[in-house]
Amino acid sequence: MATGVLTRAGDARAVGGRARRGGALCRVVGEAAVTEPYFSDADLTLYQGDALEVLRDLPDRSVHMACTSPPFWNLRDYQADGQIGLEPTSEGWATSLVRVFAAVRRVLRDDAVLFIEIGDSYDGNKELVDQPGVLKNALRADGWRHRQTIILHKSNAMPESVSDRCTTAHSYVLLMVKSRSYYWDQEALREPAEWARWGDQTSPKYDGHAGGKGDLVTDKREELAAQGGKNARTVWTIPTEPNALAICRVCDAYWQGGAPREHCGKPVVQHFAAFPRELVRRMILAGTSERGVCAECGAPWVRETEVRQALAADGKTCLRCGKNHGATRAGSEHRAAVMVERFVCNETTTLGWQPSCECLASPALMAEAGKELVPVPVPATILDPFSGSGTSLLVARQLGRHAIGVELSVPYCAMTRARLSQLSLLAEGVSS
């Protein structure tokens, strides 16, 4: 058991089998201090402490997805020792985050994805810093693959007292991966098909564009509107959620609204930058398997799907658009019909789920189905290294996933613990 006295930030002081490391309570195992959970139950584990220190204790390739909104640069002082965001330069801020996300990469499976919601800010010269670009480039230099940037359109963005630029109504979601092959559930994010971009079709369209030559394409709006589904787009319109969560830093009294300015003689602690739950929901649905993962190796179960046309008894008439898909058409009318059939009239049906590995599960991990034993998946695990008030953990629980959160701020950890109690879950709507 370690007995040395260590005094530098991030080191551990051992006292009777317990230790402090980076401000977090640890237990001493051999010569190493292992961070103890601040709060845990059957669904989730929350650690209080520096993310770099806590993540060192998590096993390699043990997490199926990570999603987080890290502290933005030069925006807010969380009054926590060791916080990220107050570095002198945006490059220094990005370097701090790269270290944390390198630790995240180690604990993520090779087929995992990482979502990072990040906004932007201005420097002292009122010049936009381009935080998403600075961070993205730094992560790529450290070995991450930048798969996509999603625009989070905030439909109810707060007004800004500016007169020389537009009010900011969006932030960015960086989709980062470890390898070229990764898990992604396209069907979980599918959106209703909409063709409003064609307008009222007042301009004649020839061969798919206005003013060209060829056969006239008839108006397909009624056939195309809201039939079938489309792949999710890169602009997600999600309103922000008012956050009235507050906690007393002295007695841990907790409010979901109507908090006083002070309690126990000190200002109450609030969290002003919480995730919208809908944003986290989409991240988790896309990045983890709804059915679960292999209990032996952790590989995700995958959908078995079938793409087919919804046809009437005659085998020709489409039940979606009412057209005869077996009819022969000429010119651009045929091309338009093919487009309708391929992207609108075809429907994807989930037939079931299958493991993506070839593990032979032990009898203890099998369940009887009829006359045979079938493997039983377990919930996927998501990680949020900057969990704040615990929104990602809350949504993970609502979606039947396991979750690991890390938060440096002690008041925010207390807020998360109170928020995730059964009474608070009911108040926030578990089924939403």
Each residue's pLDDT tens digit, 121-145: 888 888 999 999 999 999 999 999 9
pLDDT of residue 379 exceeding 80, the answer is yes
Residue 119: how many CA atoms within 13 Å on its side-chain side?
Answer: 18
Lowest mean pLDDT among 66-75, 90-99, 260-269, 337-346: 337-346
3-state secondary structure the chain: CCCCCCCCCCCEEEECCEEEECCEEEEEECCEEEECCCEECCCEEEEECCHHHHHCCCCCCCEEEEEECCCCCCCCCCCCCCCCCCCCCHHHHHHHHHHHHHHHHHHEEEEEEEEEEECCCECCCCCECCHHHHHHHHHHHCCCEEEEEEEEECCCCCCCCCCCCCCCCEEEEEEEECCCCCCCCCHHHCEECCCHHHCCCCCCEECCEECCCCCECCCCHHHHCCCCEECCCCEEECCCCCCCCEECCCCCCEECCCCCCEECCEECEECCCCCCHHHHHHHHHHHCCCCCECCCCCCEEEEEEEEEECECCCCCEECCCCCECCCCCCHHHHHHHHHHHHHHHEEEEEEEEEECCCCCCCHHHEEEECCEEEECCECCEEEECCCCCCHHHHHHHHCCCEEEEEECCHHHHHHHHHHCCHHHHHHHCCCC
Mean pLDDT of 268-288: 90
Backbone angles phi, psi at 29, to 5 degrees: -120, 110
Token duo for residue 76: 């807010």
Residue 80 confidence class, pLDDT cut points 50, 70, 90: confident
Residue 431 confidence class, pLDDT cut points 50, 70, 90: very low
Kindly state the percentage of the chain with pLDDT values over 90.
49
What whole-number distance in Å separates Cα of residue 149 and Cα of residue 353?
29
Through-space distance between the first and last CA atoms of the chain, rounded to whole angstroms: 47
| Distance from the Cα of residue 116 to its chain's centroid | 8
What whole-number distance in Å separates Cα of residue 335 and Cα of residue 217?
9
Q: Which residue has the higher pLDDT, 123 or 299?
A: 299
Residue type at position 298: G
Token duo for residue 265: 């003689």
Lowest mean pLDDT among 184-188, 244-248, 289-293: 244-248
Mean pLDDT of 60-76: 92
pLDDT for residue 346: 66
pLDDT for residue 275: 85
Mean of per-residue pLDDT scores for the chain? 79
pLDDT of residue 271 exceeding 80, the answer is no
Q: Which residue has the higher pLDDT, 122 or 313?
A: 122
Instruction: Write down the residue that tokens 């908090």 correspond to.
Output: 259
Other beta carbons within 10 angstroms of residue 181's beta carbon come to 9
What whole-number distance in Å separates Cα of residue 5 and Cα of residue 319?
75
pLDDT of residue 329 exceeding 80, the answer is no
CB 375 within 8 Å of CB 295: yes
pLDDT for residue 274: 78
Token duo for residue 306: 């079938």
pLDDT for residue 367: 63
What whole-number distance in Å separates Cα of residue 115 and Cα of residue 183?
13
pLDDT of residue 19 exceeding 70, the answer is no
What whole-number distance in Å separates Cα of residue 407 and Cα of residue 80?
10
